[in-house]
Structure 1
Amino acid sequence: MQSRFSRFLFAIAIGGLFHFSGAVAFAQDGDAGNPTQWIVRESKHLRLASDVNEPELLEDLTQSFDAAVPQWLAFWGMPESRLKNWKIDGYLMRNVDAFRERGALPASITPFRHGFSSPGTIWVRYQDTRYYNRHLVLHEGVHSLAFELFGAGGPSWFMEGTAELLALHRERVIVPKRLSPESEEPARTLLAQSMDPFTINQFPRNRADTPGWGRYKIVARDRDANSLPTLKSVLKLPMELNGKVEAYTWCWAAASLFSQAPESREAFLKAASRGSDQSEAFTSEFYRDVAEDWPVLSARWRLLLNDLDYGFDWSRHRIALSTSDPRATGAPVEMRVSSDQAWHSTGQWFPRGARLRFAVSGQCQVTTDWTSGPAGISIEFHRGAPLGQLQVCVLPIASPDQGTLPPMQIQSVITKTDVARQIASGNSDADAVDSLVIQGTQEVLIREPSWVLLRINLPIDHQPIASDSALGYQVKVVPVR
């Protein structure tokens, strides 16, 4: 995963980079400690050699690679025929020195922590988990693919971001195969034993989905330390990332955002065709393409990093934001907030100095056993706030100037005291909580032109319960005059 395109001229100069028909001899099986007996597995698009005596792993890696290629092409909108005859060589290395001694890893390539690629060859250091071996083979394969399709991969934020994006997948659940009548051993092809199809560009549902990957740990750490980077600072990352996992994390997150957001998807895909340009001009042209919508993209970035965790799903985070949203008129806004989506926008922006209060009714099914009102339930919490609590976020339109993001301004809308006061007033039936309209006493002050968003505080992987389709909070946003 070390930046490699600055060595492009070197890769071209040695032409093809040590194909397996060269000086190093390989056997299909044997003593992996003997470099003349390195194991080779070959598929349509990858010929892989390794000193790791795990034939099933190598078969899994080559088959996964072949399964990823058409998905990569589909991502870029290209036909499968474009890579009909494309094939690269690969090395999965436990003893890196042995590969250098035999000439399979050129001395000109400086040491790297995880992987390295050229137009026709990839090198990957053996990892402790099957998933991460597969992830790195795919990551480096995307870099080689970028040479083939686009001449190179562009600057680091784009190059490493797309490689991480198109390498990310979920560890497959493997089920034992029935023994064949001719043998007591099950078939060796792991891909054929998988319960799920091999699919790239999927967010992990839990740690078991991506063992060894560790990007969410970095996001959570920097979120807790209020040191998350701005989107613009990611686009300014240096060409050489030197294997820093943090930098790869932000490149991946930015690539995911740009490829998903309606404001940037077309520009992001188009930018790949300029892959041979690794200068600042590449980023400048991309920025010009999305400049009109940059405030929206910056806002989406803040929301993404605030929420990103195991179980994140873009389908629940497609909030409607636009630079064309009208200015608030001062009239109340009525809206429904449901649990099948994360943040909900009021559909307008509020000027500096505006003050808002809220009136809320309804319920939310937060678990199979518990239903919540807008103040939340006090017996279960998520990220320090009661489960089911209705929350408001004031999201500034202006992009942050500093290199790190300021903390998100998120607070509750209705308190337990508001609920108790409403019931004690004698104007409401405490048993009819689904129709009880709670008048919030807290004011939300708009300190700069901002969007105002609402959500129900639920775990990131919350799945709406069957009966939840008719539930949610009916909210009236009331400007205070």
Structure 2
Amino acid sequence: MGVPELSRRRNRVVFIALAMVSVGCSDSPSPHELIRSAPETAVVTTRSSVSKDNETASNEGAETLESDEIVDSRPEPVFRPDDDRRFVDPQVLQNADIDVYESKRLRLYTDVDANIARNIPPLIDLVYERLVEDFGPLPPARDEKEFQISGYLIAERDRFLASGLLPEEFAGFQHGQHFGQEFWMYDQELDYYRRHLAIHEATHCFMMRVPGIHPPLWYLEGIADFYGTHRFNERGHVEFGVMPDSPEEFLGFGRIDMIREEVEAGKRLSVVEVSELGEVEFSKSRSTPYAWSWALCKFLDSHPRYQKRFRLLRDHLVGPDFVRIADQQFAPDLWLLEAEWEEFCRTIDFGWEFETNAFVMSDEAPVDLPERATFSIAANQGWTWTGYRLQAGETVHVTAEGQAVLNTTPVDWVSEPQGITIEYANGFPVGRLMAAVLIDPAYVDETNRQRMEVIDIGSSRTIKSEFGGLLMFQVNDFGNNRSNNVGEYNLILEAVEDSSVTP
């Protein structure tokens, strides 16, 4: 702690000064007199200011005094960059028919309808509070003014160009653009996405005011989209960084549909590939890199296994340590992270449940499957590891029984291991027993990028794993509808000598 440390050092310096005086000439004041007359802050005497009466003091003692001088080692104060916003002449605004709406954190210049515009500044005030809560306060300004940004919400582009409020070099952006403590955005047809984009750009303005900030581009764009993803709860309070729970409430967002389309087209990106997205990728597409970056930020921030590690990165935005710390945090179980990320991308949906879809693992070392084993799989859990590993080509016969209730609205949906064919999730009946092999990293390369070998089971099936890895099971359901399930299936696993089964 800073204050006690300072106090101890002060006492130590006073003690050394007293010792020096006590070995001086006989006409020097006594230690008790020094204590009575000493100021509250110790004064250290150096060799250059020692009186002639004390010149007989030992050189060793004098050297000790020099080495214990109090030196102000406090770091230079850190200030955020100066407010670089442009001055806007009120007459220019009047001539251009541009209105101003202002709150503590945002001054908004716009030509859109007042009923729309007046709601934006208070929203930015709220996201500023959330950013401070998550990342800490910004450094102070040199002039001690409160942090505020300027935004330009544009309905008619030419109006802002002619008035000088939209610089020519920024006029070519598609949706939004930020620079310093200013951002520009075109008005959007959809109310949700207008707010989302304003929050996204305001988040950039906040983040880039941190001196020396140096995280990778995927993180900056992903985290801006993370906070931009918002909703109003039943009490009318806004929540930031949410998982969109319905397409109707998040019109214009589009990120979930983009991920689905990329996965269906065989273009899924791994965690490592998303983390390598840079200026080239973002300049080529104004959609999919943002979708992947948002998805990874949301996944890592919400998943119970990775949330704490991901949030630790907030403390390493300045300087070159971000990538090193990220590698340090996630490298030990990157194979598992990649598998859970793959499953998230495969089953992503509005309202996807991170807690209940998390893989159920164990710290125990995997063992080979015995001739016969039993296992129970809960209907309200994600992929669950049996504790067994399979070798590539190993054959297993699975038999399952039991019941699970998948839904209670309007009536109970009772399923057995073969599933309910009235509704399908992820290409299979809901409630159907599924198996998977969490593939050993040794089998993952450029020719085989998948981490999970998903296998349809039902009530009974003999399977052969194409790849070696950990044997897992799950009751099939939508990724946003697992937490309300109850019940379990009881499995019998039997090793099969005949390896003629086609995987």
TM-score in same-fold range (> 0.5): yes
User: SS of the residue aligned with 1:442?
Assistant: strand
Which of 287, 293, 296 is the matching residue for 1:251?
Answer: 293
Which of 403, 417, 423 is the matching residue for 1:380?
Answer: 423
The offset of 1:362, in angstroms, is 1.0
What aligned pairs does 1:40-79 form with structure 2 within 5 A after superposition?
Answer: 40-53=100-113, 55-76=114-135, 78=136
The residue type equivalent to 2:457 in the other structure is V
Is the counterpart of residue 474 in structure 1 residue 490 in structure 2? yes
Please, which moves more after superposition, 332-341 or 115-124?
Answer: 332-341
Count of residue pairs brought into register by the alignment: 408
Match of 2:97 in 1: 37
Which of 11, 22, 40 is the matching residue for 2:88?
Answer: 22
The residue type equivalent to 2:336 in the other structure is V
Is the counterpart of residue 148 in structure 1 residue 209 in structure 2? yes
User: Could you say what the CA RMSD is over the residues aligned between the two structures, in angstroms?
Assistant: 3.1
Match of 2:365 in 1: 326
User: SS of the residue aligned with 1:289?
Assistant: helix
Q: Could you list the per-position Cα deviations for residues 334-392 of structure 1 after superposition, in whole angstroms to 9, with x for gaps in the alignment?
A: 44323323322324544434333323221112342431110112333223322211111
User: SS of the residue aligned with 2:117?
Assistant: helix
Question: Do the aligned partners of residues 141 and 360 (structure 1) sit closer, same or farther apart at CA in structure 2, a change above 3 Å counting?
Answer: same
Is the counterpart of residue 396 in structure 1 residue 439 in structure 2? yes
Match of 1:191 in 2: none
Is the counterpart of residue 121 in structure 1 residue 164 in structure 2? no
Structure of higher CA gyration radius? 2
Question: Do the aligned partners of residues 464 and 168 (structure 1) sit closer, same or farther apart at CA in structure 2, a change above 3 Å counting?
Answer: closer
User: SS of the residue aligned with 1:319?
Assistant: coil
Is the counterpart of residue 462 in structure 1 residue 481 in structure 2? yes
Match of 2:454 in 1: 410
User: SS of the residue aligned with 1:473?
Assistant: strand
The offset of 1:132, in angstroms, is 0.4
The residue type equivalent to 1:342 in the other structure is G
Match of 2:463 in 1: 443
Question: Do the aligned partners of residues 276 and 134 (structure 1) sit closer, same or farther apart at CA in structure 2, a change above 3 Å counting?
Answer: same
The offset of 1:115, in angstroms, is 0.9
Question: Do the aligned partners of residues 479 and 167 (structure 1) sit closer, same or farther apart at CA in structure 2, a change above 3 Å counting?
Answer: farther
TM-score by length of 2: 0.72
What aligned pairs does 1:186-225 form with structure 2 within 5 A after superposition?
Answer: 195-225=235-265
User: SS of the residue aligned with 2:222?
Assistant: helix
What aligned pairs does 1:143-182 form with structure 2 within 5 A after superposition?
Answer: 143-149=204-210, 151-152=212-213, 154-170=215-231, 172=232
User: SS of the residue aligned with 1:209?
Assistant: coil
The residue type equivalent to 2:161 in the other structure is R
Match of 2:42 in 1: none
Taking the aligned partners of 1:256 and 1:405, their CA distance within structure 2 comes to: 23
Is the counterpart of residue 289 in structure 1 residue 329 in structure 2? yes
Question: Do the aligned partners of residues 321 and 25 (structure 1) sit closer, same or farther apart at CA in structure 2, a change above 3 Å counting?
Answer: farther
Match of 1:93 in 2: 154
The offset of 1:301, in angstroms, is 1.2
User: SS of the residue aligned with 2:230?
Assistant: coil
Taking the aligned partners of 1:347 and 1:39, their CA distance within structure 2 comes to: 65
The unaligned stretches of length 5 or more in structure 2 are: 1-80, 498-503
User: SS of the residue aligned with 2:239?
Assistant: coil
The offset of 1:284, in angstroms, is 4.8
User: SS of the residue aligned with 1:163?
Assistant: helix
Taking the aligned partners of 1:347 and 1:129, their CA distance within structure 2 comes to: 49
TM-score by length of 1: 0.76
Identity, % of aligned pairs? Answer: 22
Question: Do the aligned partners of residues 441 and 350 (structure 1) sit closer, same or farther apart at CA in structure 2, a change above 3 Å counting?
Answer: closer
Taking the aligned partners of 1:88 and 1:452, their CA distance within structure 2 comes to: 53
User: SS of the residue aligned with 2:423?
Assistant: strand
The offset of 1:145, in angstroms, is 1.3
The residue type equivalent to 1:455 in the other structure is Q
The offset of 1:475, in angstroms, is 2.7
CA contact (8 A) 1:39 1:49 kept: yes
Taking the aligned partners of 1:348 and 1:73, their CA distance within structure 2 comes to: 46
Question: Do the aligned partners of residues 407 and 297 (structure 1) sit closer, same or farther apart at CA in structure 2, a change above 3 Å counting?
Answer: closer
Question: Do the aligned partners of residues 151 and 345 (structure 1) sit closer, same or farther apart at CA in structure 2, a change above 3 Å counting?
Answer: same
Question: Do the aligned partners of residues 452 and 24 (structure 1) sit closer, same or farther apart at CA in structure 2, a change above 3 Å counting?
Answer: farther
The offset of 1:296, in angstroms, is 1.6
Question: Do the aligned partners of residues 81 and 409 (structure 1) sit closer, same or farther apart at CA in structure 2, a change above 3 Å counting?
Answer: same
Taking the aligned partners of 1:150 and 1:260, their CA distance within structure 2 comes to: 28
The offset of 1:282, in angstroms, is 4.5
Taking the aligned partners of 1:355 and 1:64, their CA distance within structure 2 comes to: 58
Match of 1:4 in 2: none
The offset of 1:135, in angstroms, is 0.5
Higher relative contact order (CA 8 A, sep 6+): 1
Question: Do the aligned partners of residues 377 and 271 (structure 1) sit closer, same or farther apart at CA in structure 2, a change above 3 Å counting?
Answer: closer
CA contact (8 A) 1:328 1:351 kept: no
The unaligned stretches of length 5 or more in structure 1 are: 1-11, 28-33, 174-193, 416-439
CA contact (8 A) 2:176 2:186 kept: yes
The offset of 1:141, in angstroms, is 1.2
CA contact (8 A) 2:366 2:387 kept: no
The residue type equivalent to 1:329 in the other structure is D
User: SS of the residue aligned with 2:367?
Assistant: coil
Q: Could you list the per-position Cα deviations for residues 62-101 of structure 1 after superposition, in whole angstroms to 9, with x for gaps in the alignment?
A: 222222222223333x369989932211111122232232
Taking the aligned partners of 2:375 and 2:210, their CA distance within structure 1 comes to: 47
